[in-house]
Each structure stands twice: as structure tokens, then as C-alpha cells.
Amino acid sequence: GVLQVSISLKKVELSVGESKFFTCTAIGEPVSLDWYNPQGERMVPSPRVALHNEGVRSRLTLYNANVEDAGIYRCQATDAQGQTQEATVVLEIYQKLTFRDVPSPQEFRQGDVAEVVCDVTSSPVPVIAWYYNNMEIFEDTEKFQLLSNNNLQVQRVTKADEGVYRCEARVEARGEIDFRDIILVVNVPPVLSVPQQSFNATADYGESVTFTCRAYGSPEPDVTWHRKGVELQESEQYVMRARGTTLTIRNIKQDDGGSYTCKASNKAGEVQQEIVLKVFVQPHITKLRNVTAVEGSAAMISCKAEGEPLPDISWRRASDGYSFSDGDKSPDGRVEVRGRRGESMLTIVGVGLSDWGRFDCEALSRIGGHQKSMFLDIEYAPKFQTNHTIFFSWEGNPVNISCDVMSNPPATMLWRRDKLTIPTEGTANMRVHNAPGRSLLEVTPMSDRDFGRYNCTARNNIGMRFQEFILAQADVPSNPYSVRLSSIAQRTATVTFMKPDSHGGVPIDHYLVRYKDISSHDWRDVQSHGTHTIVLLTNLEPNTTYEVRVAAVNGKGQGEFSRTESFQTLPIREPSPPSVQGQRGVGKAYRLGLVKQDDGGMPILEYIVKYKTDKEEQWMTKLVPGLNDFVVLQPLQWNTQYEVEITARNVKGLSEPTFVKFSMPQKPDITGTQTSTKHTTQTKILLTCVFFFCFSFFFI
């Protein structure tokens, strides 16, 4: 039969990337069915081409078509005689709308010309339209321009231009349409706001300072801090807050001073600002040492100090408060101060013991001061401290001969007697007791040869000195003199006298007062309190004549008596008027205190107390034993004035009376408070002046 070939499709449109198969059918008895591409080449299987033959049918499959696959494909059948027949199919390849490079968001720097990219392709070429805020952007406006490559150009882009832009593509022939929304972001370069560009701080006081560096921009800038080209990191010393816009420097030290740089950066750029920290340093004395100088030499004392600003240095002598500054000289010209940057030198020529002591160095600047003290130590040869070089004793009585020395460094001390050194361990009747600055020679004289001269020698590395002491024999004191009697009463008298002219070489221990009734042969002794030259004689008989004499007693013994003096005690008489002190009692009772006066030489037997109201004529009498020191009058009447007469009595008779007046308060209001009662129960007491006594009291 006649060979015939047909293809299921005559013309096919295929989008790029799509796949399609075609079926070729032969009528007759074909030997082979072959496919030929548009280039006339017989097609064989490949990754994108599949061939499948089944007798009189052959299927061609094209995968993932591309533009180069377009053209006329032929299916050719061949029979056994070599006759061929073919059929064709036309394959047209078109590009669908494809957005190839449309990033979102797209970012631009403020003020730049922004080109918003919308890379879209299709076949045929698409028509592009741009929209902003749902309104189409037309070409050639002052703000926008549509470029030939379909991109949108925005002139001098600002934050106001931010938003969503739509790129819309259309293929009119196919009615195909697609779009992409593009977010436009405008980045604003950083701008810095630094409220304060310089700071002052003081070092070593735990102070902190906070720099503020506010950064504005879009996106929000990153703020970093730098010093000497190195970025600062968060630490105990550096504390950053508010996204780095504040830098706090803690525990400021001197080396924290200088420039700090605040840098702000974002996608749009970088900007920086310098901040200066001026660190003041409190004055600090770094060198001041104690100095030792030999008496008569020169002493040089150095004081070094540092600080920012550099301090002025001055001196103060603690002994007299005298101050020295650079260039000063003391009135005597011995002390002079010279200074140079950060150091002051105090020079003392002809150093003496008066220069010994503390010197204060003070470093002072406008932000503070620092003071340190040093000690000027003066080395000198021994100096004896006392002119007491004569000591007294007697045989068998030990005496301490004291040799007191000032020296620096401490002196070694020894004793000599007749050019022979007394050993420190002592001899039979001598002992040496050494203490800093003192050597005691304890001598117990055994015979006359132990009295005489003793030599104390003191030595240190500056020099040697000696002092001579004399041990002399002591004597008893001479007699006191000017014996006087005073305050003579019925049973007492006071003896006063003058010290003797000579105490015998050793201190007086006490005085012995010896007295007796002139008609008696027995003397009585009274010893003074220590060396007081006044002695009270007691338990004397009234109206009696006495003799008295005084002797001084020292360690050696009792001296001679003074000249004997005589005196007569007073006769017995009536007592003096009693003294009265009033005191408020309890309720309707009143208490009067009795103060005994001169009893006239005999005990007071009783007090006779008479009392009455000022409205009555009759007295009430109360007898009080003489040993009592008060009398209580009761019961008394409220709101009444009383008169009191008090007389003291001894065996000789009655005293003159003492008169007292007092007023009883009103009856207390039991409903009143304790406080009001206290204030409404005041009692006034008026005591009448009697003879030489006058009393006035006021009681609550």
C-alpha cells in the first residue's frame, strides 16, 4: 500500500520551560520512523529529548523547552523499498513574563539618584508600568523618570519617597500580566548631636563621667567609642548605655584624660565627633622622708609632689606653727626654702635642738591639697638635765643619786668614785639602776668615807660629758618659828607656824605639835597631816590655859622645838541662835530643818519650838532633843500663816530665839492634776533676821 504519515498537531505554541510531546503515525508498512529537528538533524534521545517507537507510531517528547527549540520538526517514515513520506509540526516558543532581578527592599542613600530595578523579560517584549501609592507614575516628571531598561529613576530621593512601588508588566498579545511590589528604603547618613564636648574630672576619687553622643539616621546608626584608634569595649571601667549613645568612664584615673571619639555608622555613611576629658589630679606628695642631722650641722629636707595642675609646695614647722614658702627665709636666716617644678627643698643650717620635731609639707593646687609630715631628728652629745648635784643622807640610810641625761642616740652611763668605776652590778653598799636617760646610784653610807664626790659619765657616738655629785651628811631640821594660835573656842584651837629655815638636807616628813594644860606636867602630841603648817587641837577644856610648841621631823630625826606659846580657851556660855531651813512636808504637816550653830562649849540639850497662827495669841510648844536636826509641826491649818520661835538650850542656859514665818497653802483640789496641785501648793517661808543671822528660803 501507499505510505502515509501524519502528526497529531500541526502547530504548537510552547512557553519557555514547558514540556510537550508529539505523536507521528504512519499508514502502510514503514520500516522506520525518524524525527528531524529544525536544523535537519536526525534526533536521538538526550536529557531533554525522549523518543518512543511502537510499530507504526513514534512519540517525540521535548522537556523544559527553550527559545532555541523553536522551528519545524519533521517525522519521516521509510518502507522496505526505500520510499519515504514525512509530516511536519511547527513549534513556536514564547517567553512568559519572568521577573529575573527584582530585589525587595531596595535601599538608597538620601539625596542620591535612586534607580529602582525591575528586570522583567518576555516574548514579545513586555510593556512596563510603575505605580506608587496606587497611582501610576508617568514618564518625565520632576521626581520620576522611566528608563529604557524599564527601571524607575527617583531624583534626590528622601525619606518621603519611601514606600511600596509596583512594577507591572503586560504582554498585550497574550493578555498576560504580572507585577512585583518593591519596598523602597531611603538610608539617611548619621548625624551626631554632642551636647557637651569637653569634661573635667578629678582622678583617684572614684569619680565617674558620662559622655553623651546622640546619633540620628536611617537605619538607626551603630554608635561606637574609640580612644587612640582602638574601639572601647564594655568593661568595669567603660559602661555603655542606650545603644552606645552614652559612655560612662568609672573610677577615673590620671591616664584616662585625653580625646575620645564617638563614631556613628549605618549603610548610608559614617560620622565622628571628638570629646575631650580633662583629668585633674589632686596633689599627691610622692617623696618625703625623715631626716637625721647632728647638732650644729646642716639639714636638707626634700618634698616632691605631683598633680594636675602641678601643686605649689609649702612647709610648716609644727613646734611653733611657722610657715615657709618658696623663697622664704626665717628671721634668723637659718631656714631657707628653694623650689623647682614639683619639688621643694627646706634647708636648715646650724641645726639645734629647737629644730627637732615635725615638719609638715603641704602640696596645694586649685582643686585640693595633700599634706604629709616628716620628723627631723637631731643627734647630739649628752646633756645633763638637772643642777641638783648635792644629796644628803646619814649612816645606814640609803639615798638615790639621780643622773638624768638627754642625748641622741641614747648614752651609755657609768659612775666613778675616786677615779674608779663603780661596776653596774654594784658593791657592798652601792647599787646602780639604769633606765633610758637616767642612772640611779643607790648609796647606803656605812661610814664617813662614803660621803664625798661621785662622778656620772655619759657617752654616745656624738660626744662624752660628765657631771659631779656630792653626797653630804644630813642633819635634823631647825626649829619652826612664828607659832600662832587662832580660832580659839571652848574646846578647840588652831595652831599655825612657819617652816624651819633648814630642813637638814633631807625633806621634812611631818611636824609634831606638843601641848599641855599649864597646870599639868603631861604633854600631849598631835602630828600634822604631811607637811601642812596648820594643826587643829581638839577635846580641850573650856576656860583653861594651855602651852604649845612645835618641832619638825625628817628622816634623820626630830629637830628642836620652837619657843613655847600659851593660850586660854573660852569659858562656857549659852548657845548661838539656831539656823533654820524650811522644807515642805506632806499634807497638813510642815518640816523645819535645824542647823546647829556654836553650842557655847556644852552640848545642846534641847530645842524649844513655839508656834501659832498669826490670828491667835496663844503659843503651842514642842520640845525637840538636841541631837535632832529637824522638827515636824502638825497638824496645821490650810491657807494659814504661822509664826515660829525656836530657842536652843545647853546647861548654861538659853540662846537668843530665831523667828520663822511661813504660809500653808490652800487645800488641794483632789480633782486637779498632779501638776496643777504642785503649782498651787507653793509655800513661802520668811525667816526673821535675828542678831547677826538672816535667812530667806523659797520652797516648792
Q: How confident is the model at residue 1 (pLDDT cuts 50, 70, 90)?
A: low
Helix or strand holding residue 240 (H, E): strand 238-241
User: pLDDT tens across 304-317, in order?
Assistant: 999 989 999 999 99
Question: Architecture of 98-188 per CATH?
Answer: Sandwich (2.60)
pLDDT of amino acid 694? 36
107, with CB counted inside 10 A (0-12, 13-18, 19+), is middle
- Residue 16: name the closest of 74, 68, 51 by CA: 68
Q: Is 515 within 8 Å of 567 (Cβ atoms)?
A: no
- Residue 628: name the closest of 662, 595, 661 by CA: 595
For residue 312, give the 3-state DSSP assignment. strand
Q: Which fold has domain 481-568?
A: Immunoglobulin-like (2.60.40)
Give per-residue burial for 242-262: e unless 16+ CB within 10 Å, then b: eebbbbebeebebebbeebbb
130 beta partners: 137, 167
Give per-residue burial for 1-31: e unless 16+ CB within 10 Å, then b: eebebebeeeebebbbeeebebbbbbeeebe
pLDDT of amino acid 672? 47
Put simply, whether the predicted model's pTM sits higher than 0.85 gets the answer no
450, with CB counted inside 10 A (0-12, 13-18, 19+), is middle
C-alpha angle 43/45/46, rounded to 5°? 110
Q: Is 121 within 8 Å of 167 (Cβ atoms)?
A: no
114, with CB counted inside 10 A (0-12, 13-18, 19+), is buried
pLDDT of amino acid 292? 96
User: pLDDT tens across 540-586, in order?
Assistant: 999 999 999 999 999 899 999 999 999 999 999 999 999 988 777 67
Question: Architecture of 194-280 per CATH?
Answer: Sandwich (2.60)
Measured from the Cβ of residue 590, the count of other Cβ atoms closer than 10 Å reads: 24
Q: Domain 385-473: what homologous superfamily?
A: Immunoglobulins (2.60.40.10)
Q: How confident is the model at residue 700 (pLDDT cuts 50, 70, 90)?
A: very low
Q: Is 110 left (phi over 0), alpha (psi -120 to 50) or beta?
A: beta
What amino acid is encoded at 371 in this protein? Q
CATH number of 289-380: 2.60.40.10
- Cell digits of residue 269: 555613611
Instruction: Give the pairing type, strands 152-154 and 114-116.
Output: antiparallel
pLDDT of amino acid 671? 60
Q: Is 22 within 8 Å of 8 (Cβ atoms)?
A: yes
Cα within 13 Å of Cα(440), Cβ side? 8
Q: Is 605 within 8 Å of 651 (Cβ atoms)?
A: yes
Q: Residue 692 above 70 pLDDT? A: no
Cα–Cα distance measured from residue 550 to residue 559, given in angstroms and rounded to the nearest whole number: 10
Q: Residue 156 above 60 pLDDT? A: yes
DSSP assignment letter at 341: T
Q: Which fold has domain 4-94?
A: Immunoglobulin-like (2.60.40)
- Residue 439: name the closest of 369, 384, 381, 373 by CA: 384
Q: How confident is the model at residue 9 (pLDDT cuts 50, 70, 90)?
A: confident
User: pLDDT tens across 126-149, in order?
Assistant: 999 999 998 999 877 889 999 999
Name the least confident of 97-101, 144-148, 302-306, 668-672.
Answer: 668-672
Polymer length in residues for the chain? 700
Mean pLDDT of the chain: 90
Give per-residue burial for 346-364: e unless 16+ CB within 10 Å, then b: bebeebeeebbeebbbbbb
385-473 and 481-568: identical CATH topology: yes
Q: Is 588 within 8 Å of 566 (Cβ atoms)?
A: no
Cα distances from 603 to residues 39, 89, 647, in angstroms, run 169, 170, 14
Helix or strand holding residue 677 (H, E): helix 674-680
pLDDT of amino acid 699? 33
Class of domain 579-699: mainly beta
User: pLDDT tens across 209-224, in order?
Assistant: 999 999 999 999 999 9
Domain boundaries along the sequence of the chain: 4-94, 98-188, 194-280, 289-380, 385-473, 481-568, 579-699
Percentage of the chain with pLDDT > 90?
74
Q: Residue 390 above 90 pLDDT? A: yes
Q: Which residue has the cell 527617583?
A: 154
CA–centroid distance for 147 within its chain: 75
Q: Is 517 left (phi over 0), alpha (psi -120 to 50) or beta?
A: beta
Name the least confident of 1-10, 295-304, 517-526.
Answer: 1-10
C-alpha angle 288/293/294, rounded to 5°? 175
Helix or strand holding residue 254 (H, E): none
For residue 539, give the 3-state DSSP assignment. coil
Percentage of the chain with pLDDT > 70?
95
Measured from the Cβ of residue 619, the count of other Cβ atoms closer than 10 Å reads: 12
Torsion (CA) 433, 434, 435, 436 in degrees, nearest 10: 160
